[in-house]
């Protein structure tokens, strides 16, 4: 009887060990799900490189806008299917920080000190700057002069020819609202956007929406991301980047691991690769504003000596307050 019990226990232990080994090295448990608000070109780069680096892992990358990622994590918590959050704006990462793992083993010393979050629950990925983007072909077709200020965009001649991301769903949209609130005062900024709405074809749900509309020839002017505009210009799109007197708004984006997934080897393998090697590749290819201490890349066609705007008080509480006001008004 004793021999039988010993054999049974040995078999149970073997099955348990096999299940644990399979969790990241084979079987159905090697799946790593990444939620990202990044652009298509960057998402393709991340996914291709991750799958080449880890061919035995089932890596899935799902796009959602910034606010949706934060809302789903905050609502679903440990039950959400996400393992890694990529390219998410800092404010939204703070919104769901209760469900994020503390990354004490990660080497934060490689990043510029001022970009590192105190809670060590996410890593810096990029500085996302905004600009005014013009489709020169559409301007010519409509007989319009290029706007030189935000006020110029209120001219009825631009009716239906402007695109901007919705600040409630897009970190890119919010950074324009945040900047003009700081530069002009809250009342004046909201009054301006109320007037601008008369000329806006659509407030897009994602930050990439305006550039997509510009490339498609749907609008003449977009409030969008500098990096995305550069990519399209380098591919031959008839776009031009300009900065108004207030300068470029910007947001910081980062990467994080869900607390529920931090004990899985496959998840941490993918995260550490994404947050270091691929982050440098992203910095070199698309977002050249310096985030690493030892790495200051340049990108063909990317504007230099950019004047960045006033982004003070860019907190989660302010994001939620201004977002609620935007919805109400």
Residue range of the domain that includes 274: 20-127+252-285
The answer to whether 37 touches 206, Cβ cutoff 8 Å, is yes
- Listed as ranges, residues in the chain with pLDDT below 50 are 1-27
Q: Do 322 and 203 belong together in one domain?
A: yes
Residue 111 in any domain: the answer is: yes
Question: Which pLDDT score is estimated for 28?
Answer: 59
Residues 6+ apart with CB under 8 A from 215: 135, 232, 237, 239
* pTM beyond 0.85, yes or no: no
Q: Which of 66, 61, 64 is nearest to 83 (CA)?
A: 61
Q: Do 245 and 258 belong together in one domain?
A: no
Question: Which pLDDT score is estimated for 66?
Answer: 86
Residue 296 in any domain: the answer is: no
- Specify the pairing of strand 31-36 against strand 58-63: parallel
Q: Do 232 and 280 belong together in one domain?
A: no
Number of CB atoms found within 10 A of residue 205's CB = 18
Q: Do 265 and 219 belong together in one domain?
A: no
Residue 4 in any domain: the answer is: no
CATH number of the structural domain spanning residue 81? 3.40.190.10
Number of independent structural domains in the chain:
2
Q: Quick one: what percent of the chain has pLDDT higher than 70?
A: 91
Q: Quick one: what percent of the chain has pLDDT higher than 90?
A: 80
Q: Do 117 and 245 belong together in one domain?
A: no
- Sort 276 into a burial class: Cβ within 10 Å, 0-12 / 13-18 / 19+: middle
Q: What angle do CA 112, 117, 120 make, to 5 degrees?
A: 110
Distance CA 36, CA 60 (A): 11
């Amino acid at each position: 009887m004793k021999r039988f019990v010993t054999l049974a226990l040995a078999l149970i232990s073997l099955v348990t060990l096999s299940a644990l080994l399979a969790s990241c090295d084979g079987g159905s448990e090697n799946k790593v799900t990444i939620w990202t608000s990044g652009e298509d070109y960057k998402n393709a780069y991340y996914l291709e490189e991750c799958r080449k680096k880890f061919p035995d892992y089932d890596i899935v990358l799902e796009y959602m806008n910034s606010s949706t990622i934060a809302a789903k994590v905050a609502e679903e918590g440990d039950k959400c299917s996400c393992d890694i959050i990529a390219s998410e704006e800092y404010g939204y990462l703070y919104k769901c920080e209760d469900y994020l793992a503390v990354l004490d083993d990660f080497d934060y010393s490689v990043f510029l000190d001022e970009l590192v979050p105190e809670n060590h629950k996410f890593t810096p990925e990029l500085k996302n700057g905004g600009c005014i983007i013009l489709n020169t072909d559409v301007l010519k077709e409509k007989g319009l002069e290029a706007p030189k200020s935000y006020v110029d965009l209120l001219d009825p001649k631009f009716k239906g020819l402007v695109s901007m991301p919705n600040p409630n769903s897009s970190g890119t949209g919010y950074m324009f609202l945040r900047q003009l609130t700081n530069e002009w005062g809250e009342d004046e900024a909201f009054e301006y956007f109320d007037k601008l709405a008369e000329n806006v074809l659509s407030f897009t749900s994602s930050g990439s929406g305006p550039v997509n509309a510009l490339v498609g020839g749907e609008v003449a002017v977009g409030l969008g991301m500098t990096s995305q505009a550069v990519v399209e210009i380098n591919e031959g799109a008839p776009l031009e980047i300009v900065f108004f007197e207030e300068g470029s708004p910007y947001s910081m984006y980062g990467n994080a691991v869900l607390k529920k997934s931090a004990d899985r080897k496959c998840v941490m393998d993918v995260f550490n690769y994404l947050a270091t090697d691929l982050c440098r590749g992203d910095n070199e290819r698309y977002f050249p504003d310096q985030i690493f201490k030892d790495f200051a890349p340049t990108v063909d066609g990317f504007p230099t000596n950019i004047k960045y705007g006033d982004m003070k008080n860019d907190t989660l509480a302010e994001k939620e307050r201004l977002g609620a006001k935007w919805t109400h008004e």
